[in-house]
């Protein structure tokens, strides 16, 4: 596939706010992970809680294990960012990965790195609600903190596309932050602030999400709470935010408004994560019927 074909837009309308967010926050995300991981990490003994790279890769592995990958499998990464996890999966298991993002720079970087390593990863500039993949051709689908960019509280549009591209018996595995009860008062404002700063239409609501999964044909839906497992990596955000503020202060630079909104969301997001009656970080897996 040529570079021009990779960068051809999909038929689905891409929200410009999402693209603008990732453009403006690119340097902040690279500070978080030089490898380009755009998600939290998974801690387990004996990993050192200060080893962020190890925790970021461990989260990918924790999710992918649920797909029971084999070298002859074809997987789809919905919301792949720079393709870091897709390359890790291809490198570890030999799977062919079709990876989807709406940011051109991420496609270019991810495809270049995959080619350098001779990995079976194909990056696509397409909305993950319209992958263009043939129906029933994927053995597994995964998403790392990306399905929140689908529409509505149940994210039914992206779940329908995931179900369409999976073969019968195929598996889906994803991690994301979920609202477990309707926020009110100041907490409603806090949630909205986090969503706006990350250009998320809204965080998925757990009950609506499960109903949407069932509606599009997923069965054996299992939910695992990883909140405590990701907390050590989330704590890394505080010193990184402080370092960013100080660096800009001493260099006389000013944060872009979207960068400021991103950092504010990171701070509020940590606070939101402490309120277990409101918010959980969940791993959800299921089979296609």
The answer to whether residue 140 scores a pLDDT higher than 80 is yes
Rg (the chain; Cα; Å): 18
pLDDT of residue 247: 78
pLDDT of residue 2: 41
H-assigned helices in the chain: 3-6, 16-24, 26-32, 52-65, 84-93, 104-117, 156-165, 185-197, 206-215, 227-234, 237-251, 257-273
Give percent above pLDDT 70 in the chain.
Answer: 96
Q: Residue 3: pLDDT band by 50, 70, 90 thresholds?
A: very low
Indicate the number of domains in the chain: 1
For residue 14, the number of C-alpha atoms closer than 13 Å in the C-beta half-sphere is 21
Contact 139, 167 (CB under 8 A): yes
> Between these two residues, 74 and 3, which has the higher pLDDT value?
74
pLDDT of residue 272: 93
3-state DSSP helix/strand/coil % of the chain, to nearest 5? 45, 20, 35
Give the Cβ contact number of residue 50 at 10 Å.
11
Query: Picking from 15-19, 30-34, 246-250, which range would have the lowest pLDDT averaged per residue?
Result: 246-250
pLDDT averaged over every residue in the chain: 92
State how far the Cα of 73 lies from the Cα of 97, in Å rounded to an integer. Answer: 9
Q: DSSP letter string over 104-122?
A: HHHHHHHHHHHHHHT--EE
Q: Residue 66: pLDDT band by 50, 70, 90 thresholds?
A: very high
Query: Picking from 1-10, 135-144, 181-190, 203-212, which range would have the lowest pLDDT averaged per residue?
Result: 1-10
pLDDT of residue 13: 63
Task: Tell me which residue range forms the domain holding 247.
Answer: 3-7+15-288
- What does the pLDDT look like over 176-227, one tens digit per residue? 999 999 999 999 999 999 999 999 999 999 999 999 999 999 999 999 999 9
As beta bridge partners, residue 282 has 176, 225
List the 121-125 sheet strands across, edge first: 121-125, 96-101, 74-78, 138-144, 166-179, 279-288, 218-225
Give me the CATH number covering residue 259: 3.40.50.150
Mean pLDDT of 120-132: 97
């Amino acid at each position: 596939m040529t570079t021009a074909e990779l960068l051809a837009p999909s038929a689905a309308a891409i929200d410009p706010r999402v693209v603008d967010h990732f453009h403006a926050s690119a340097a902040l995300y690279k500070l978080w992970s030089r490898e380009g991981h755009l998600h939290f990490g998974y801690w387990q003994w004996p990993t050192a809680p200060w080893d962020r790279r190890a925790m970021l890769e461990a989260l990918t592995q924790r999710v992918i294990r649920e797909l029971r990958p084999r070298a002859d499998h074809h997987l789809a990464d919905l919301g792949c960012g720079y393709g870091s996890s897709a390359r890790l999966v291809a490198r570890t298991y030999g799977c062919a990965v079709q990876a989807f993002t709406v940011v051109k720079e991420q496609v270019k970087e991810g495809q270049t790195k995959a080619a350098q390593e001779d990995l079976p990863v194909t990056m696509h500039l397409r909305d993950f609600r319209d992958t263009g993949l043939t129906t029933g051709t994927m053995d597994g689908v995964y998403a790392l903190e990306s399905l929140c960019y689908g529409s509505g509280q149940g994210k039914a549009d992206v779940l329908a596309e995931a179900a369409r591209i999976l073969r019968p018996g195929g598996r889906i595995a994803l991690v994301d932050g979920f609202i477990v009860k309707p926020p009110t008062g100041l907490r409603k404002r806090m949630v909205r602030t986090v969503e706006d700063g990350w250009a998320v239409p809204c965080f998925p609501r757990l009950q609506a999400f499960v109903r949407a999964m069932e509606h599009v044909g997923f069965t054996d839906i299992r939910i695992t709470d990883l909140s405590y497992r990701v907390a050590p990596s989330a704590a890394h955000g505080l010193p990184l935010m402080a370092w960013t503020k100080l660096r800009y202060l001493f260099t006389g630079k000013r944060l872009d408004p979207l960068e400021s909104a991103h950092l504010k969301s990171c701070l509020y997001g940590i606070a939101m994560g402490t309120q277990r009656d409101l918010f959980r970080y969940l791993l959800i897996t299921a089979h296609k019927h």
